[in-house]
Amino acid sequence: MKKLITGVVDYIKQDWAENKIRTVLEVTAWLTSLGCAIAVAATVPNVPFLILYPLFISHCAVFAYCAYTRGSTGMVANYIMLCTVDAIGLTRLIWSTIG
């Protein structure tokens, strides 16, 4: 267990040394993602999607940028697709509340 924890701490230190901005962005996006998940779980069945969808899109966009800076094609594609799906969902939600 100690080896696992040491390995994680070393990875974080290395990541911080390589790109401090990316590390801060990833942690911020992770906290936003966690907050959104907790908000969804706490507010079902009346989820405040008009608030949460923009947060989903934002943290996915940040994760896409971070994945790009790491050179991770699969993760970039995943997060761009999630941004697209969530943007469509937000658009449909807005249209349904207007009309």
pTM: 0.86
**Number of structural domains, the chain?**
1
SS3 content of the chain, % helix, strand, coil (to 5): 90, 0, 10
Task: Render pLDDT for 15-68 as a digit per residue (tens, 0 to 9).
Answer: 999 999 999 999 999 999 999 999 999 999 999 999 999 999 999 999 999 999
Contacts of 16 (CB under 8 A, 6+ apart): 23
Question: Does residue 17 sit within a domain?
Answer: no
- Domain of residue 74, residue span: 29-98
Question: Does residue 16 sit within a domain?
Answer: no
| pLDDT attached to residue 10 | 93
CB 42 within 8 Å of CB 65: no
Question: Does residue 3 sit within a domain?
Answer: no
